[in-house]
Structure formats: C-alpha cells, structure tokens
Structure 1
Amino acid sequence: MLPSRSNERPAALASLAAELGPEDMRRADGAMGVALDPQGNGAAVSWDNPQSGIKGSFVPVGGPFLRSDEICRAFIASVQTQSQPVKLQGTACRPSGGEWAVKDVGPWKGLS
C-alpha cells in the first residue's frame, strides 16, 4: 500500500486507476466523501462519468475510527475503466471539518 500526503487528494484518487481524468476524479471524490461520511448509512455510493464511460463505487468497511486527530474509515473501491475493472481497498482520513484524503490504497485482497 502506498501512503499519500493529504495535500495530494486528487493524485491519490488517480492511483485508483491510471485512466481517471479530472472529471472522473471529481466524481469519484464526491462519491467517496458521501460513502465514508461517519453520519452516513454505510451503503455503497456509485459514481459515473458518461463522457469518459468510466464508473465506480465506494463501499465503507467497518465504522469510523480516530488516527492522529483525524477521522478515518476503511473502504473498498471498484472502478470500471475503458480497459479493465479495478478493485482496491484502502483507508481515507479527514481532519475535523476537512476533506477526505486517501492515506493508503492497494489491490483488494478479497476473502481467502
């Protein structure tokens, strides 16, 4: 898993799939924020970009937790790019009142 500095939020989302353009990242970022919201219902949140044909979803895993004065939550992300589906797992955190930032992400390990 690759750590990401919090000021590189769009670049961290780009790591979910190298084919994501700026509008794909914007849509994915919005879906991630809704999915990981501690006040949310824990359901998957989907996004799509009709212009690029890329779509995906974020599923929160477990409840929110504190790490270094930030609210964090694990997630599974699915992205369907033009070339292939990608499924990843990671953790995102945000300071109080701040934006979510992906802290680590890697290939989904699934159930063994």
Structure 2
Amino acid sequence: MAYSVSSLVKFGIIACLSVVVAGCTGTGNVRPLSFAPVSTPKIAGPKFAGSDSILASLNGGILPQDAAGSLTGPDRLRSLEAEYQALEKAPLGQVIAWKSQSSGAAGEVSAGTPYQVGQQNCRQYTHTATIRGLPVKGQGAACRNSDGSWTPLS
C-alpha cells in the first residue's frame, strides 16, 4: 500500500508541475496594453468619440498641414475622429476609415502596438488619405493623457 501511495503522490506532483510549466509557456505573442473606455462629455451636432478638447489635443493630427488645411470643417473633424478612434480603441492591424460626405476626400488610420513611456500609454500610428485627388500620408506617435486625450509627440 505504501508503494501505491508514494507513486500516487509522485504522479500528483508531476501533474501539478506540468500544469504550472504549461501556464508559463505561451505562443510567444506579446500582449499589448489595453485601454479602458473614456467617458467623455457629449457635444452638440454629429456624434464624435470625444469632446472638442479631446480632439483639439491631437494638434491638428498627423496629416501634412498643407493637405489637411484644405479639408472642410466636418471633414477635418472626421479625420481627427479617425485618429482618436485608432489610438484609443483599434487593435493592431485594424484600420479606421473616414470619408467626406461632400468633397470625395477619404482616409484610413491604423495604430501600432501600445507601449509605455514613463507612466503614459503611447502608440505609433499612420494616417493615409486622398485629399483633392492627391494621396497624402502622415506618420507619428502619440501618448495618452490622464483626461483621455492623445497628444502627438514632436
């Protein structure tokens, strides 16, 4: 009987170690940071993810200013909203698209894997667009502020 209890204990220990070791190994994928939803005040007019101040903190976005400056006000807001949504919520590889309702301008924003700089969550991102029939592209990085806004890095 002592022999079978000893074998049972050894088997139990081996089984527990196997479970622990299996939990320590993985696919090798890095888990990106996740961001909690931001509750923001509602604004009048079209539905945007954030308030004017949250979109304003993007400092005009990362599209070249000469191209972005030719967008109408609503189209400019659509492009900034796409940047905000990509930075705030989009998983790696997901594209956030926007399209003008009047001028034919359109664009797509994609953000990279979140990372930390000090205590701030940051992401690199790319914004490609067609404005007045010409392709434009902006690339940069932004860090999330405590109020839920994002500020591009210079």
- Per the TM superposition, whether the score is higher than 0.5 is yes
Q: Are 1:57 and 2:108 an aligned pair?
A: yes
Asked if 1 retains the 8 angstrom alpha-carbon contact of 2:145 and 2:151, the reply is no
> Is the 1:24–1:48 Cα contact (8 Å) retained in structure 2?
yes
Query: For residues 40 and 79 of structure 1, do their structure 2 counterparts lie closer, same or farther at Cα, with a shift above 3 Å needed?
Result: closer
Q: Which amino acid aligns with 1:77?
A: H
The alignment's TM-score, normalised by the length of structure 1, stands at: 0.69
Alignment match, 1:33: 84
Separation in 1 of the partners of 2:99 and 2:90? 20
Larger strand fraction of residues: 1
Cα distance in 2 for residues equivalent to 1:12 and 1:41: 19
What is the CA–CA distance in structure 2 between the aligned matches of 1:65 and 1:76, rounded to whole Å? 16
> Which of 1 and 2 has higher RCO (CA within 8 Å, sep 6+)?
1
Structure whose residues are more often helix by fraction: 2
CA distance in 2 between counterparts of 1:23 and 1:10 reads 16
Q: Percent identity?
A: 26
TM alignment of 1:95-110, pairs within 5 A:
95-104=145-154
* Contact residue 72 and residue 94 of structure 1 kept, 8 A: yes
User: Are positions 1:66 and 2:127 aligned together?
Assistant: no
> What is the root-mean-square deviation in Å for CA atoms of aligned residues?
2.5
2-structure distance, mates of 1:83, 1:19: 12
Q: Give me the whole-angstrom Cα distance separating, in 2, the residues matched to 1:48 and 1:11.
A: 17
Among candidates 115, 118, 126, match of residue 76 of structure 1? 126
Q: Is 1:11 matched up with 2:60?
A: yes
Shift of 1:84: 0.8
State the distance in 2 between where 1:102 and 1:21 align: 22
- 1:94 aligns to what? 144
Is there any run of 5+ residues in structure 1 with no aligned partner, and where? 1-6, 105-112
Aligned length: 97
CA shift in 2, pair 1:40/1:84, >3 Å: closer
Unaligned runs of 5+ in 2: 1-55
Separation in structure 2 between the aligned mates of residue 21 and residue 41 of structure 1, nearest angstrom: 29
> For residues 23 and 101 of structure 1, do their structure 2 counterparts lie closer, same or farther at Cα, with a shift above 3 Å needed?
farther
